[in-house]
Amino acid sequence: MKIETNINTIHQIAHRKKNENLSFRSFLKGQEFDKVDKIVHKLYKEVSSQIDCLKCGNCCLNLRPLVTDEELRRLANIDKVTLSEFEEKHITHDNFENFKYLKSIPCKYLKDKKCMVYSDRPEECRSYPYLHKDMFISRTLGVLNNYEICPIVFNVFELLKLKLGWKRR
């Protein structure tokens, strides 16, 4: 399978395959978690070695990363403002789960598809697109959200369908 990197093409395919992907998600629920994790981790290594995230930046255009208090302090120092000033201006709160997110979409630190705080970026950004993590099957709703945002997720998900011999019903 050719690796697809064109975001517009991925977006179009994602909309066309919405029902198919939901059906595949249901299929995955009946699979062995460990087996799927091993396949996903292998595919992630193969696909990510062919895609340069630093040339894409689509995640930074579409997502708001979760940030810890330590990361907030670091970003406030970078911006040369107090923690409270930074939080007031650049953070949104999820009061239900007590999470803090960077407010702006696209990310305020994105310039010309480059992260201006790359070495100090939040862990949420470092971990994206999370395909190296275990329990893939339990995270498929989030994977589907990232399917049309991230070329790596898109390609891994499509290759996973082939590896598992899944046929659209």
Distance between CA 32 and CA 78 in Å, rounded?
45
Distance between CA 153 and CA 7 in Å, rounded?
12
Residue 81: predicted pLDDT: 97
106 prior amide bond cis, ω within 30: yes
Residues of the chain with pLDDT under 70: 169
Domain ranges for the chain: 7-57+129-163, 64-127
Residue 59: predicted pLDDT: 95
Q: 């064109």: which residue's tokens?
A: 6
Does this model's pTM top 0.75? My answer is yes
Residue 169: predicted pLDDT: 62
Mean per-residue pLDDT of the chain = 94
Residue 86: predicted pLDDT: 96
Residue 148: predicted pLDDT: 95
Residue 130: predicted pLDDT: 96
DSSP 71-119: HHHHHHHHHTS-HHHHHHHHEEEETTTTEEEE--SS-TTEETTEETTGG
Say what angle helices 18-28 and 151-163 make with each other, to 10 degrees: 60
